[in-house]
A and B are shown apart, each in its own frame.
Chain A
Amino acid sequence: MTDMSIAWSEDYACGLNPGARGLAGLLGPAKAVQITSEPAWGSSGDNPLIELRNVSKSFGPVVALDSLEATIHPGELVTVVGPSGCGKSTLFNILAGLEEPDPGNILRFRGKSSAASELLGQVSFMPQRDLLLPWRNVIDNAILALEIEGMPRTQARAEALKMLPEFGLAGFENQYPNQLSGGMRQRVALMRTFLFRRDLMLLDEPFGALDALTRTMMQRWLLDVWQKHRRTVLFITHDVDEAIFLGDRVLVMTARPGKVKLEQKIDLPRPRKADIVTSPEFITLKKTLLDAIEEESMKSFMTSGH
């Protein structure tokens, strides 16, 4: 993972859309933003989709995760931020079923205790890089997961074709990855993730490699798509603005060994417009989160001895 610990605040100030600033519809009867440091859910009636209790993972002497606790409810968009090397990706690999946590953990998926490996094929996972196959065109890259599930190619292609316009890829179905821009490649990867219909979607810094302007576009677009499809999403980012803008809840992770330091509910109204990042509520939330992250970044900065 690259070291991004200094880039928290000025990450994409230039990414704001100046034209959208006048449309301050959301500044009307401002809904009081409720800031809770204590998780107020869990006691509520609906069952969590996934529940992690006391999840640890060490690689030899390195403890990546230490008794991490987290709960994700169906339909939520939860974002995870934290200093680099805090074990975010390890958490994702566990949730994707690619790595087994250390013994003694509790991992409940739909209320059922499971081993991580049982989650293989249960979670749609999108890693940091698009990882498109260069010998497959847009449509065939998008249907990769469906094909693996055993859906006939023609049926999978038909399904993907219907989705192309929504992902801004209409007319590009026969293009190959090396003919696409970074943002388009990322959308193909997202489409592949969306087509693999699973209750939980894991997005690992999907927009991390994009330029600031493309990134804000992609964030708004992701919100649109998410609101339409209502999947449960866990979204890793190193960008606080992105975490607040997208999330129902933000989990701030501690420096290694990683655990959840702060769980912040984001009560900003949806649909969220681009200019919401300048609203006082947003700024207040951002300040709370930045304070928490800064503390951890300093810690990881000191211990890693950069």
Chain B
Amino acid sequence: MSVSGPSGAIVASPSLSAAKAGRFVSLLKSLIWIAAFLAVVELLVLVLGIRPYYLPRPSAIAAAFWATPQAYLLSMWRTLLETVIGFVAGSLFGVATGVLFHRWTMLRELFFPLFVVSQTIPVIAFGAVVVLWFGNTLLAKAVISFYISFLPVTVNALLGFAAVDPRQVALMRSFGAKEGQILRRLYLPAALPQIFVALKLASSLSLIGAIVGEWFGDTTGLGVLLLQAMYNENVVGIWVTIVASACLGIGLYAVVSEAERRIVFWGAEQ
């Protein structure tokens, strides 16, 4: 966006709506691409005579969904809830520990290695314990989702804080700013670009956490559907669940990206 005069604000507005139109076009483009891709797959399956056991036709997958949409939508809703709770908790916890570790190096030295070690325990091994602790509840799945998603946020928040210009901190201090003011007005916003990189990663991770969490026992959710379909060798059912999970994952990622675009409008400029 270039500024040519005092009327810069007015100059900027048409380019803003142009950007909006550009986004709409790119959305339309990707929709067309997906449709084309599905058509090609459908055709290939038919022409090459691939058995449904290996790859069902996309139309068959869609038909299976339409046969019992209620079951799939309910499962998606349940998994979405678990994911969102885990993701939000993980993000907040990640930023909070980032702040603590940045502020008190002692804490970082004590606990950061522990954080890293915690992530080397596979979620599968940990999941059984969580279900034992929290029972077969939504909360248990959210905890697993949280467990798998917070560390990238902690790490990136720390990276973002460390990259803050010390001269900027000195300037704030020369204005008589207290630690809390410097944190709110400088460190947190300055680290946002880094934090959002981690949030995008955490959004996918927390979905994995929720689905895996459901494997330890539940009655609804995409993870449950996946297991049931697998045990019944219901290949089409597996594929419907895969597509449903993909939709959830893409949706979450898109929401976080859109939030990033709106909040971190200045980019990573220093």
Contact B8 A172 (CB under 8 A): yes
Q: Is the CB of A134 within 8 A of B266?
A: yes
Neighbour of A144 across the interface among B2, B6, B175, B270, CB < 8 A: B175
Interface of A is mostly: loop
- Between A and B, 15 residue pairs with Cβ closer than 8 Å are A97-B173, A122-B176, A124-B175, A131-B165, A131-B171, A133-B168, A133-B189, A134-B267, A135-B189, A135-B265, A144-B172, A171-B6, A172-B6, A175-B8, A180-B3
Question: Contact size class for A?
Answer: 20 to 34
> CB-CB < 8 A to B17: which residues of A?
none
Q: Which 4 A-B residue pairs are closest in the complex by CB-CB distance?
A: A121-B176, A171-B6, A134-B266, A125-B174
A127 touches B171 (CB 8 A): yes
Interface string of A133-147 (1 = CB under 8 A from B): 111000000001101
Instruction: Type the 1/0 row for B179-205, where 1 means its CB is closer than 8 Å to any CB of A.
Output: 001000110011010000000000000
B7 contacts A by Cβ under 8 Å: yes
Within 8 Å of chain B (Cβ to Cβ): is A174? yes
Query: Which residues on the B side are within 8 Å of A175 (C-beta)?
Result: 3, 8-9
Chain A hits for B165, CB < 8 A: 131
Q: Which one of B7, B175, B192 contacts A148 once the chains associate, using CB atoms below 8 Å?
A: B175
User: From A130, which residue of chain B is reached at the shortest CB distance?
Assistant: B171
Whether A123 lies near B9 (C-beta < 8 A) is no
Does A27 sit at the interface, judged by CB under 8 A?
A: no
Residues of A within 8 A of B7 (CB): 171
A123 pairs with B168, CB closer than 8 A: no
Confirm or deny: B177 has a beta carbon within 8 angstroms of a beta carbon on chain A: yes
Number of residues of chain B lying within 8 A (CB) of chain A? 31
Are B186 and A127 within 8 A (Cβ)? no
Contacts of B265 in A (CB 8 A): 135, 176
Contacts A98-B174, A127-B171, A149-B176; A179 near B1 (Cβ below 8 A): yes
Tell me whether A120 and B174 are in contact (CB under 8 A): yes
CB distance from A203 to the nearest CB of B (A): 12
